[in-house]
């Protein structure tokens, strides 16, 4: 009959199976149901809550660490060489001894890895042993357990100020509205509170939540690192589903605030939590210098192969010349009695030579670089100048291996808000109904306002019990009184560090400094607000409709209502565990369905005066969704909406006077005093507007999930029922709230957002209607005021409203509920739903908010530009605001010509770019250097960066729309060609994606080193794309910091980080790498020269112990000390003369030819160190080691003295390391030679060093050989520093002058540069006549143009690296600036000056000069005279 047919799964089953692969099921651990038992095997795959960031265990450490180290090809190479030495046919040293260097390097790296892993282990142990309350089925209560014991499916209870141990679905809250407030400072650094909501159906529970009764199944998405997203369903026992969103999820690492008690079920644990999935640890990049170093390592390998091949051929020829019969006595035959053929002998010798010459590849270079970089990072962290006392933060280095890139940056891409500015938004002025209120008194307050240096202690409110939250809040006195209570709270969690961190982060309420809160109202506007309130009170008492109020007063009333309620600000009171600042006489469950909403509009509802909650709401936290509504079928939705229309029509008939029967208000005195309220805002803009409204007595006194309470003069507290909140997003650039007005019972939409979008959403005005004309006039006036605000550098927002009829709202609600209930494309549907309601708006007014510049920003930008860095500012602000801030921070100068690109289409953009390029080239192509300024010289390079040496007077401003066109593949080259000719570039209205595209374009097209700096989440993509990413730990959280390579507290710290530490790190590492190559090549060359005298047999005249440990021990310490501590120029000089930074940009310290110069110098020095001892001991009876040991000693002296010549700064550590290395060599040699009579048969090293130290010839050789070997380098450095000094050498010598003289010279130098800049001719000013208007043209505001250059210079600039050219100023002689210039004064030119110009002998030179006072006075007088004349 055959087997039954196999079951073919239906499409529905296939869909469920595919969906389950993308989701996970979570059930309670308290139930022993069959379904739970069936899922038990799958549970083992779920992560536990144990945190494990360590990489090794006791058993796996050795094999795993070795496996990781062998990922480095250098380690594999050296292990291969060491193993090759075990082959008898090719070995050169004792096999065991040959392993020593490799084992030492591997051991050092392993110890470092072990120490780091042990530190991680201790940190993990502390966190894993923190305690929390977990529900026990046996004891039927919450019991204390360690975090590591928590599992997915456990029920956890948390109390105020406790840290969340895992990602928990919120099922219960002590808050009557099911809310929970959390602080995400540990996650993203934001100190403002965020709301989380209990899962919808669990709000309806009449009794306390019981974990034993939880039988629902949770289906949610698999673990991911998206902090802004969580999707899932909770399936109840009756089959109903409720949607789960991010507002229902408590994330690990956050802290419970303002909520006494919450409970939930664990969804993700341990390494599956979103916090740990986002923790990537330090970033590892490959620096530019390291890439160049790897190329030179390949050259070393090639040199090694050539030397080995040459030796092999030489050995083959040497063996061949003896033939078969004339074998030398020392040529030993093989075991079979036969001699090796020349070819086979050459092959064996090739392998032997690789072993002998292996030091040519620097085995310890990579480890030494790691050690040096770690030490450099440590010293950068210890710099007090990079610490910010106000925020108690210091520099963080998150990428350990690109410190030298800080010294080679060519482009800086910066955000504006929060990066250049404080991100402390202060309400400055506003316009309402077309009338502008300048707030002059408020402007005077801001002008004379000074932040206090120390915190002023506020008196604690009397009466009432303080919550645990307040023990760590901004009131200092409260914090002191309840210190023990705060400590006790955190003792339960077992983390004293977390308690300290929470105390610091909660020290101030976010965005609530006195400067931001204390707004001085405008008298005219305040009078109108009071007049409006009086009219409303009179109209209320006479039951008159609001339509009797004048349009202007109506707009003023709605304007301040919008400022107060159109936000997500959380209201807290110091004497309450959470905001009880509300009057809820009856508690009703929030609206969950349309049926519930219908009951809100029944006649009984309208006459009850109850202040119950609203229907569903949309996103409140920077997203466009909000938790809450169950999935409804379209049929049920339609039927319910029909009922809704009937009820709404009836309710409209009940209240034809504009008021509800009872206004739902409470007495004014029922709430707490205004001063007791604190506002927790998600952004400084929201806080600034709420504080501004409070200044006009329109105070936000309470916020629930469904209700906002506003206190007004003469009216008391009005409770606005919040129906929906449409959160802000970067696409819509606005946010809206849909509320039911307590006075009119109308459904109002209040919207605030960018003027560029709000103005396009206004209701079209009819030109024939007088009312329409009036509205058009108001819109025009408001736009003009907005432009004036932007010119003043203010951030602008438009405020608008819309009154919805019941029918319009019912129609919109239908589509909105369908969007919320959708399982696919939910975000897109909610976006379209928001667009439907945010249209036909009525303009109320606009605000101007001031964002102060950070301290030191203009000076920092000026110095960075002097250093040759081109700064681009990429901001989302409108163009006028960004331009004004750019002038304020000296990004743009008033004597610059500004090219403004605003295009409406790609075609227009292409035409504009082409016109601008042609105009720029035609205007400046024929200009030449004016003869009047041709003779002027300056010591350092000019103020202008190399990228703008030709057109240093141009600035480029481009808006977001035009930038999008310019970044298209067909136009990006033209845009870049124009931008690189401008000194400054300002991109306005740019999106996060555009920011990263601009950085990537410059990085890839120009091959330039880029740095991006920002402080917010919108800067993350830009920071990650740049070569060096810098985050600022500012007001917008820690997202930018977590994505960055370096984090700094303030923008001004970037100056020292780059100009000082960046320069030092690059200079140290560049010189150390070159020294490594020189040192190894010089020592290997000694062995190579000996091969000519030993028949290329691979023999060595150096004892194998010296050979193996020479680079490892005897000569390694001085170079490490120099690599960590050397300072070629002092920090104060690098800051005073920023132009010195250009040496790193131009890679002057490490250029390709320098590698070959070091190789040639190594060859010469090796010849001297080999042949002077050779001829000294020629035809004597000394043994090979008595001749080889002096060579080793001479080589050590030469290498250390070579380093001394290259060292710029001498400290006690430098001297100690050099002396220690020499003493260590002699100590080892004496002990080894005295204790090893038969260590290396047939040769005998016994007593070799002891005999040599008794021979005067040994000392003579050790003195004369290093002098002859180093004389060319010493003379070159001295002559070059005297006749053709580099800028760094000039700066170094300038730093040695007395402070008074140095200050005078620097002052005169700066004055001279400014005078040169100001006296340059205007020569063919850049006229704006080729384009004129803002929508389709390239604006150029004609100002004074700096000196242009000739066509020859322009062409040379285009062919240089990137677009960094050499200006005519750069080519001018620096000799006229300093007395040690190319023009040598014969009377002042002496060997004494040569010697004392080198750092090594500078102190000795000072002593010598002191002994000759006449020479000293003459030299100083000549120096000062010539320096002043040149300036």
The residues annotated as belonging to the active site are 415
Distance CA 1430, CA 940 (A): 12
Closest CA to 252 of 21, 47, 484: 47
Q: What is the DSSP string of 227-267?
A: TT---EEEE-TTS-EEEE-GGGEEPTT-EEES-SEEEEEEE
Residues 41-67, buried b or exposed e (16+ Cβ, 10 A)? eeeeebbbbbbeebebeeeebeeebee
Burial class for 1291, CB neighbours closer than 10 Å (0-12, 13-18, 19+): buried
Is 24 marked as binding a ligand? Answer: no
Is 1421 marked as binding a ligand? Answer: no
Closest CA to 429 of 521, 337, 358: 521
Distance CA 852, CA 838 (A): 32
Is 728 marked as binding a ligand? Answer: yes
Closest CA to 133 of 26, 262, 255: 262
Residue 1096 · residue 312 · CB < 8 Å: yes
Is 752 marked as binding a ligand? Answer: yes
Is 112 marked as binding a ligand? Answer: no
Residues 319-340, buried b or exposed e (16+ Cβ, 10 A)? beeeeeeeeeeeeeeeeeeeeb
**Helix, strand, or coil here: 804?**
strand
**Helix, strand, or coil here: 146?**
strand
**Helix, strand, or coil here: 1248?**
helix
Is 908 marked as binding a ligand? Answer: no
Is 1019 marked as binding a ligand? Answer: yes
Q: What values do phi and psi take at 370, rounded to 5?
A: -60, -45
Distance CA 719, CA 513 (A): 28
Is 989 marked as binding a ligand? Answer: yes
Is 1142 marked as binding a ligand? Answer: no
Distance CA 1365, CA 1377 (A): 23
Distance CA 1131, CA 1129 (A): 7
Residue 1052 · residue 860 · CB < 8 Å: yes
Strand order in the sheet with 241-244: 23-26, 217-221, 232-235, 241-244
Is 599 marked as binding a ligand? Answer: no
Residue 754 · residue 878 · CB < 8 Å: yes
Is 325 marked as binding a ligand? Answer: no
Cβ contacts of residue 364 below 8 Å, gap of 6+? 101, 105, 1111, 1112, 1116
Alpha carbon separation from 703 to 200, 582, 802 (Å, rounded): 19, 8, 22
Is 141 marked as binding a ligand? Answer: no
Residue 532 · residue 553 · CB < 8 Å: yes
Is 995 marked as binding a ligand? Answer: yes
**Helix, strand, or coil here: 531?**
helix
Is 877 marked as binding a ligand? Answer: yes
Distance CA 911, CA 859 (A): 37
Residues making up the chain, counted from first to last: 1431
Distance CA 993, CA 507 (A): 35
Distance CA 913, CA 903 (A): 10
Report cis status (omega within 30 of 0) of the bond before 532.
no
Residue 192 · residue 186 · CB < 8 Å: no
Is 91 marked as binding a ligand? Answer: no
Q: How do 155-159 and 193-197 pair as beta strands?
A: unpaired
**Residues in a beta bridge with 179:** 197
Closest CA to 1045 of 1060, 1061, 1027, 1059: 1027
Phi-psi region of 382 (alpha: psi -120 to 50; beta: other; left: phi over 0): alpha
* Residue numbers belonging to the annotated binding site for ATP: 415-417, 686, 728, 752, 795, 875-877, 989, 995, 1018-1019
* Residue numbers belonging to the annotated binding site for Mg(2+): 415, 417, 1015, 1019
* Residue numbers belonging to the annotated binding site: 415-417, 686, 728, 752, 795, 875-877, 989, 995, 1015, 1018-1019
């Amino acid at each position: 009959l055959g087997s039954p047919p196999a079951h073919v799964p239906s499409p529905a089953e296939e869909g469920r199976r595919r969906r389950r692969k993308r989701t996970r099921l979570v059930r309670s651990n308290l139930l022993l149901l069959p379904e739970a038992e069936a899922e038990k095997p799958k549970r083992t795959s779920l992560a536990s809550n144990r945190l494990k960031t360590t990489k090794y265990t006791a058993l796996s450490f050795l094999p795993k660490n070795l496996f990781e180290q062998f990922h480095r090809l250098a380690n594999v190479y050296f292990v291969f060489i060491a193993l090759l030495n075990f082959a008898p046919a090719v070995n050169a040293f004792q096999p065991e001894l040959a392993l020593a260097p490799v084992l030492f390097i591997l051991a050092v790296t392993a110890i470092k890895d072990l120490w780091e892993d042990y530190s991680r282990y201790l940190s993990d142990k502390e966190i894993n042993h923190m305690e929390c309350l977990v529900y026990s089925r046996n004891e039927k209560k919450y019991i204390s357990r360690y975090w590591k014991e928590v599992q997915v499916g456990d029920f956890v209870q948390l109390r105020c100020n406790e840290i969340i141990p895992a990602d928990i679905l919120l099922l219960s809250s002590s808050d009557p509205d099911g809310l929970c407030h959390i602080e995400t400072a540990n996650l993203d650094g934001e100190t403002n509170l965020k709301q989380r909501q209990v899962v919808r159906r669990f709000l309806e529970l009449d009794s306390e939540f019981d974990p034993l009764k939880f039988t629902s199944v949770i289906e949610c998405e698999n673990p991911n690192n998206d902090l802004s997203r969580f999707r899932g369903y909770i399936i109840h026992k009756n089959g109903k589903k409720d949607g789960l969103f991010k507002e229902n999820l408590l994330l690990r690492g956050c802290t419970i605030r303002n909520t006494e008690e919450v409970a939930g079920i664990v969804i993700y644990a341990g390494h599956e939590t979103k916090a740990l999935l986002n923790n990537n640890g330090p970033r590892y990049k490959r620096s530019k210098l390291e890439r160049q170093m790897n190329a030179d390592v390949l050259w070393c390998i090639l040199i090694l192969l050539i030397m080995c091949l040459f030796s092999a051929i030489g050995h083959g020829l040497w063996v061949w010349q003896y033939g078969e019969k004339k074998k030398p006595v020392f040529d030993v035959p093989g075991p079979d009695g036969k001699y090796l053929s020349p070819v086979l002998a050459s092959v064996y010798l090739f392998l032997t030579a690789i072993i002998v010459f292996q030091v040519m590849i620097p085995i310890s270079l990579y480890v030494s670089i790691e050690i040096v970089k770690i030490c450099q990072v440590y010293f950068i962290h210890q710099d007090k100048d990079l610490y910010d006392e106000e925020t108690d933060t210091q520099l963080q280095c998150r990428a350990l291996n690109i410190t030298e890139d800080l010294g080679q940056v060519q482009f800086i891409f910066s955000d504006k808000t929060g990066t250049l500015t404080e991100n402390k938004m202060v309400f400055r002025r506003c316009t309402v109904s077309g009338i502008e209120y300048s707030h002059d008194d408020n402007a005077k307050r801001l002008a004379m306002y000074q932040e206090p240096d120390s915190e002023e202690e506020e008196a604690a409110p009397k009466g009432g019990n303080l919550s645990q939250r307040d023990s760590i809040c901004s009131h200092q006195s409260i914090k002191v009184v309840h210190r023990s209570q705060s400590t006790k709270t955190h003792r339960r969690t077992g983390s004293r560090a977390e308690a300290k961190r929470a105390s610091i982060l909660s020290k101030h309420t976010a965005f609530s400094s006195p400067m931001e809160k204390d707004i001085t109202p405008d008298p005219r506007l305040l009078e109108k607000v009071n007049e409006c309130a009086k009219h409303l009170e009179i109209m209320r008492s006479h039951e008159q409709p609001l339509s009797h109020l004048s349009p202007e007063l109506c707009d003023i009333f709605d304007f301040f209502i919008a400022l107060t309620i159109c936000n997500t600000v959380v209201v807290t009171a110091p004497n309450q565990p959470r905001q009880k600042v509300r009057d809820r006489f009856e508690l009703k469950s929030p609206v969950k369905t349309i049926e519930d909403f219908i009951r809100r509009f029944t006649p009984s509802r309208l006459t009850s005066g109850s202040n119950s909650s609203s229907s569903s709401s949309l996103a409140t936290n920077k997203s466009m969704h909000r938790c809450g509504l169950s999935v409804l079928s379209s049929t049920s939705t339609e039927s319910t909406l029909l009922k809704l229309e009937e009820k709404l029509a009836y309710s409209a008939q009940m209240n034809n006077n504009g008021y509800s029967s009872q206004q739902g208000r409470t007495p004014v005195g029922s709430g707490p005093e205004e001063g007791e309220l604190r506002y927790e805002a998600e952004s400084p803009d929201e806080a600034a507007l709420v504080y501004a409204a409070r200044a006009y007595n329109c105070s936000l006194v309470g916020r629930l999930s469904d209700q906002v309470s506003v206190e007004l003069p003469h009216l008391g507290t009005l409770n606005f029922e919040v129906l929906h909140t449409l959160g802000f997003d970067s696409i819509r650039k606005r946010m809206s709230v849909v509320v039911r007005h307590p006075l009119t019972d109308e459904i109002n939409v209040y919207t605030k957002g960018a003027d560029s979008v709000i103005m396009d959403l206004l209701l079209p005005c009819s030109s024939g209607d007088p009312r329409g004309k009036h509205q058009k006039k108001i819109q025009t006036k408001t736009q003009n005021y907005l432009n004036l605000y932007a010119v003043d550098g203010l951030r602008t927002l438009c405020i608008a409203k819309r009154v919805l009829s019941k029918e319009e709202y019912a129609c919109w609600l239908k589509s909105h509920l369908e969007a919320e209930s959708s399982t696919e494309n939910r975000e897109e549907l909610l976006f379209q739903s928001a667009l439907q309601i945010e249209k036909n708006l009525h303009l109320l007014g606009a605000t101007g908010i001031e964002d102060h510049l950070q301290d030191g920003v203009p000076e920092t930008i000026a110095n960075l530009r002097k250093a040759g860095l081109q700064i681009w500012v990429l901001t989302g602000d409108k163009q006028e605001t960004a331009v004004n801030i750019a002038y304020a921070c000296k990004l743009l100068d008033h004597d610059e010509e500004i090219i403004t690109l605003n295009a409406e289409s790609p075609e227009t953009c292409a035409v504009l770019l082409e016109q601008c390029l042609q105009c720029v080239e035609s205007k400046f192509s024929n200009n030449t250097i004016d003869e009047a300024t041709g003779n002027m010289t300056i010591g350092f390079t000019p103020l202008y960066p190399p990228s703008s040496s030709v057109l240093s007077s141009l600035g480029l401003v481009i808006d977001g729309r035009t930038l999008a066109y310019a970044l298209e593949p067909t136009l990006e080259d033209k845009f870049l060609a124009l931008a690189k000719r401008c000194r400054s570039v300002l991109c306005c209205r740019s999106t996060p994606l555009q920011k990263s595209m601009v950085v990537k374009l410059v990085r890839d097209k120009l091959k330039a080193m880029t740095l991006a700096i920002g402080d917010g989440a919108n800067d993350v993509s830009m920071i990650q794309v740049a070569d060096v990413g810098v985050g600022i730990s500012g007001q917008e959280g820690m997202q930018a910091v977590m994505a960055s390579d370096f984090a700094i507290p303030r923008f001004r710290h970037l100056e020292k980080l780059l100009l000082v530490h960046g320069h030092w790190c690059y200079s140290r590492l560049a010189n150390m790498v070159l020294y490594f190559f020189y040192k190894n090549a010089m020592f290997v060359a000694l062995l190579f020269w000996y091969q000519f005298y030993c028949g290329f047999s691979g023999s060595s005249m150096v004892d194998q112990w010296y050979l193996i440990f020479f680079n490892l021990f005897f000569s390694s310490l001085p170079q490490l000390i120099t690599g960590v501590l050397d300072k070629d120029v002092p920090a104060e000089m690098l800051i005073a003369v920023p132009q010195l930074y250009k040496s790193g940009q131009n890679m002057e310290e490490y250029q390709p030819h320098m590698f070959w110069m070091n190789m040639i110098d190594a060859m010469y020095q090796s010849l001297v160190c080999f042949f002077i001892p050779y001829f000294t001991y020629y035809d004597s009876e000394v043994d090979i080691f008595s001749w080889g040991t002096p060579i080793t000693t001479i080589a050590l002296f030469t290498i250390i003295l070579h380093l001394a010549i290259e060292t710029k700064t001498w400290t006690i550590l430098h001297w100690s390391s050099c002396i220690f290395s020499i003493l260590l060599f002699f100590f080892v040699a004496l002990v080894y030679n005295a204790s090893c009579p038969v260590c290396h048969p047939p040769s005998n090293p016994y007593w070799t060093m002891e005999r040599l130290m008794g021979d005067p010839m040994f000392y003579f050789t050790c003195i004369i050989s290093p002098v002859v070997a180093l004389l060319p380098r010493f003379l070159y450095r001295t002559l070059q520093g005297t006749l053709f000094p580099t800028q760094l050498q000039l700066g170094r010598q300038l730093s040695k002058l007395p402070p008074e003289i140095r200050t005078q010279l620097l002052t005169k130098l700066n004055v001279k540069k400014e005078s040169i800049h100001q006296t340059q001719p205007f020569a063919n000013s850049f006229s704006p006549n080729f384009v004129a208007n803002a929508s389709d043209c390239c604006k150029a505001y004609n100002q004074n143009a700096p000196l242009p250059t000739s066509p020859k210079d322009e062409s040379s600039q285009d062919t240089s690296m990137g677009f960094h050219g050499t200006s005519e100023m750069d080519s001018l002689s620096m000799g006229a600036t300093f007395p040690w210039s190319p023009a040598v004064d014969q009377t002042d030119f002496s060997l004494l000056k040569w010697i004392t110009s080198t750092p090594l002998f500078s102190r000795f030179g000072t002593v010598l000069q002191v002994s000759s006072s006449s020479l000293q006075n003459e030299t100083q007088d000549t120096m000062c005279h010539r320096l002043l004349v040149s300036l």
